[in-house]
């Protein structure tokens, strides 16, 4: 009998918070990743995933500071 095995590769936890809604710039309001970053996540290397997280955190900070300015 043959057993199918998936190749296991290192990956960071998916940052999805299950609050998926894209803004006018195709950025998710939940995790702050772009549509392309979301699609690419599972194919991305760990270093690429770290870059995606860095960019999403920067977007989240910018979004939060913009929200505070408008209050």
What token pair was written down for 22? 């894209």
At residue 68 the predicted structure's pLDDT band, cuts being 50, 70 and 90, is low
Q: According to the model, what pLDDT value does residue 4 have?
A: 52
CB-based contacts of 23: which residues, under 8 Å, 6+ apart? 29
Instruction: Give the whole-angstrom CA distance, residue 60 versus residue 68.
Output: 12
**pLDDT tens-digit readout, 27-55:** 999 999 999 999 999 999 999 999 999 99
Instruction: State the Cα–Cα distance between residues 53 and 51, nearest whole angstrom.
Output: 5
Residues 6+ apart with CB under 8 A from 8: none
Judge whether 30 and 44 are in contact, CB under 8 Å.
no
């Amino acid at each position: 009998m043959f057993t199918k095995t998936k190749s296991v590769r290192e990956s960071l936890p998916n940052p999805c918070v299950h609050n998926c809604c894209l803004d006018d710039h195709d950025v998710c309001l939940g995790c702050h990743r772009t549509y392309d970053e979301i699609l690419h996540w599972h194919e991305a290397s760990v270093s690429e995933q770290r870059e995606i997280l860095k960019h999403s955190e920067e977007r989240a900070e910018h979004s939060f500071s913009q929200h505070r300015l408008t209050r």
